[in-house]
Structure 1
């Protein structure tokens, strides 16, 4: 299994903006066959080094992750994230 984790820091980190973007991410659930697990977390600490949202997804294989990356539903999410994010970092690992 491949775990794909992305942290997002948003340009507007108001509660409303963060919740709206978390909803965009959560909306992928059930719409991409290769996406076996999705969890979206909103930061509660709000420290200087905190990111606003964590996205944790799981896939059966690297090939499934690659299909997800180009899936039309994910592409729409990328469009949204490109507009609202200030920064993002990711980690992908076998689990």
Structure 2
């Protein structure tokens, strides 16, 4: 099994209300991928509740293997969700590991 973990930091100049609404929209879109991407086994998205921390949103997903993760990466619904994130993204951190 492969775990794919991503942390997202949004642009500093993004107003708090907009950050909140966009975070909720992105969370719903990413969690909705579980019903659209066949290789995706589990998806959990969390919105940071601690303003003292660096990242705003986290994603933890699971795949049977790296091929499944690669299929997810190019899936049209994932690409669409990613486009919405990129417009407000300052930085991203990612780790993939085998369980």
Is this a same-fold pair by TM over 0.5? yes
Q: Which has the higher helix share?
A: 2
Of 61, 70, 76, 1:72 maps to 76
Of 45, 58, 75, 1:40 maps to 45
Report how many aligned residue pairs link the two structures: 94
Asked whether the equivalents of residues 43 and 50 of structure 1 are also in contact (C-alpha less than 8 Å), the reply is no
Is 1:7 the counterpart of 2:13? The answer is no
Asked whether the equivalents of residues 10 and 18 of structure 1 are also in contact (C-alpha less than 8 Å), the reply is no
Q: CA RMSD in A?
A: 1.3
Query: SS of the counterpart of 1:28?
Result: helix
Question: Structure 2: where are the runs of 5+ without partners?
Answer: none
| Superposed displacement of residue 21, structure 1 | 2.1
TM-score normalised by the chain length of structure 2:
0.86
Question: Structure 1: where are the runs of 5+ without partners?
Answer: none
Deviations 1:43-89 (A, max 9, x none): 11111x42000000000001111111111111111211111211111
